[in-house]
Structure 1
Amino acid sequence: MRKGLLLIALFLLAQAQGFAQITLSQSSVGAIGSVYYMGVDEVIDSGTTVGPAGASQAWDFSGLNIDSRDTVRFLDPAATPYASSFPGANLCIQQSSLGAGLAYLVSSSTSLEIIGLAGDPGGLNQIFIIPQSPSLTVAAFPFTYQDSFLDTTEIDLTIDGSAISPFLDSVRYQSIVHRDLLGDAWGDLTLWSGTFNTLRVKEVSTTYDSIWVLTFLGWNLWQDSSYTDSSFTWWDNASGYLLCQADYLGPDFNEIRYQNPNPVAVSPGIFDAAQVYPNPASDRIIIAQPGQDFEVISILDLQGKVLKQAQLSGVRDEININDLPAGLYIYRIFSKDQTHAKTGKLQVIH
């Protein structure tokens, strides 16, 4: 009888470990040098939903499509061209879908905040320095299920109007965003790359945009608009960046972004040219690629959790694996355009 009760208790414990409530902290945010590859599903299947709020939820997004791809890089602000404009920043994020734009952040034990942007949002072939005051709070720490916070951020930018029209002296753009964030659910999120123990954060944001133009008649309000959007974002404590985000424009389901999308096939020639050895390996592996077709290697456990990630910079790169316990792992090396990947098994022995 006792043996039977023990087996039941062990089974219940195993089930509980599959659904464990997590708390986000500063360590949940990736380090400088991290690179994240995102897939974007822009044509949402009719049966796809974000599901209800609450504890012990399960979300299966393993069948998401890839309509486009994106790359997010965590950079050292000091190594970027606009660091002097944001001296307080200790993290910089670059997103390939936004071109040359950079976001400057302050990461601390209590929050992750965007203090400003540098980029060309209007496509005018000119880089603008855009402070955010108050800053935009991406996350408050510690943060767990049923925690919430309100945030207001503002951008107020005046630019030379002649770049838009010879009849304009100046153009002023102001955007005020009120955000309401709530940890509304937790549970297991399944993507193509694995299953993750996550906290879901619901955000409702109301934006007020105004544009004024200065002509020989003086300042005039040219455009004034407001809109309310929402998003659901899944985080865990190990990936360093959002695992998945579902965006709504007003009431309409717009897109889902998610980490480590399923790569498409590549020609055998590219695969054969890239070699990862020795395998088994004890202290390091070597990635040899004469054509330099790949730029990042990720090492994952068998559940799909990314344990190590490194940039590839030449025809021969060495990656230290001393910190990995002995066992079987999966490696993935990604092409420079993030559309292709080579996947294999790696045996670590010590």
Structure 2
Amino acid sequence: MKKIPLIAISAFSINAFAQPVIKNGDNIPAPGLSVHVQFATTTVVGNPGTNQTWDFSSLSFTSMGTVDVIAPAASPIGSSFPSCNYALSLAGQNSYSFFQASSDKIEVLAWTISSPGYGNDYSPNPRTILKFPFNYLDSENDTWQKVGGSVNNVTVTYDGYGTLVTPTITYNNVVRVKEDYGGGGIDYQWYILNPLMAVAIFDHNFNRLYHFGATQTTGIADQNNLQMQAGIYPNPAADFVTVTNIPNGSTIKITDITGKTVYSSVITNEQTIISTTEFVNGVYFIQVESNGSFANRKLVVNK
């Protein structure tokens, strides 16, 4: 499987059938989020266009395990990618991927590597996977290069939006992105708006469709309501942050960029105020858990 990340996208839509616009990478996945990965063999990827239905419900998927979002510092090789601001780990394996999200793009720094300088280490020329803003039919040309490899080209196109159907979950208001490597090599990724990540990837090298989801009873689809409703303000925060629209009995955990927990509590009100006076300036990740569903938010403390 190639260098296709679980990346964060921020979107705006007027209604369920309006065109989603990928605006920025502010809501990159927060450490603590985990997804179950499955794959199925297929050569059928559906059509481009508006209000499409990509139905893969008849495919037979095989489990591959779990992918965890981690803080870069939590990886034993994270220090080799100092500009990285989020990373992925394939649970139970020494395999890590690193990404850099900025105001105008998200780049892959390395994909499923165990040691820097080997495999899919793109340090010489990281590959841009999204530029912001990204509208329907927009394209972006980019070059990328592995350590010790030649320069390669890719054209990334936002080629459709609609509904994605898998055997366990149906996703609405999905964005499909096409990656054309030339010579007939074309991959596709499907992104949901909440929790702002890719939930399906087609890899032409293996004719495989990868589903980054979960079972029928837990996982990404069940997180949508909580993820969309939970709010935080002010952000950036100085002395306090207010978390709103969360069910009674939810657990709130705040971690810093190293993955260290700096706050944890069970909430008894739908709105709670958390003091940040003892937090140092920097980026934090807020995770709200309620009955197996999660909401993730990025918080900036600036006093």
Normalised TM-score (structure 1)? 0.55
Larger fraction in strand = 1
Match of 1:63 among 43, 58, 63: 58
Aligned to 2:31: 32
- Check the 8 A contact 1:299/1:307 in 2, yes or no: no
Q: After TM superposition, give the deviation of residue 82 of structure 1 in Å.
A: 2.1
Aligned to 1:255: 208
Change (3 A) 1:232 1:22: same
SS of residue in 1 equivalent to 2:165? strand
User: Aligned residues, how many?
Assistant: 226
* Structure 1: gaps (5+ residues): 1-15, 121-126, 158-173, 207-226, 265-296, 312-316, 325-329, 334-350
Query: Matched residues, percent identical?
Result: 25
* Structure 2: gaps (5+ residues): 1-13, 228-249, 253-263, 272-289, 294-303
Q: State the AA in 1 paired with 2:224.
A: K
Q: After TM superposition, give the deviation of residue 323 of structure 1 in Å.
A: 5.3
| Aligned pairs (5 A) from 1:134-153 | 134-153=125-144
- Check the 8 A contact 2:38/2:210 in 1, yes or no: yes
Aligned to 1:72: 67
Q: Deviations over 1:254-303 (max 9, x none)?
A: 11111324479xxxxxxxxxxxxxxxxxxxxxxxxxxxxxxxx75855xx
SS of residue in 2 equivalent to 1:149? strand
Larger fraction in helix = 1
Q: State the AA in 2 paired with 1:189.
A: L
Match of 1:183 among 140, 158, 161: 158
Change (3 A) 1:185 1:119: closer
**How much is the aligned-residue C-alpha RMSD, in angstroms?**
3.6
Please give the alpha-carbon distance, in whole angstroms, between the structure 2 residues aligned to 1:88 and 1:299.
Answer: 28
Aligned to 1:236: 192
| Aligned pairs (5 A) from 1:89-238 | 89-96=84-91, 99-116=93-110, 119-120=113-114, 127-129=115-117, 130-157=121-148, 174-191=149-166, 192-206=168-182, 228-238=184-194
Normalised TM-score (structure 2)? 0.62
- Check the 8 A contact 1:184/1:200 in 2, yes or no: yes
SS of residue in 2 equivalent to 1:20? coil
SS of residue in 2 equivalent to 1:134? coil
Q: State the AA in 2 paired with 1:90.
A: N
Higher relative contact order (CA 8 A, sep 6+): 2
Aligned to 1:51: 46
- Higher gyration radius (CA): 1
Q: Deviations over 1:175-215 (max 9, x none)?
A: 43311111111112223223321111111114xxxxxxxxx
Change (3 A) 1:310 1:247: farther
Please give the alpha-carbon distance, in whole angstroms, between the structure 1 residues aligned to 2:203 and 2:143.
Answer: 19
Q: After TM superposition, give the deviation of residue 77 of structure 1 in Å.
A: 1.2
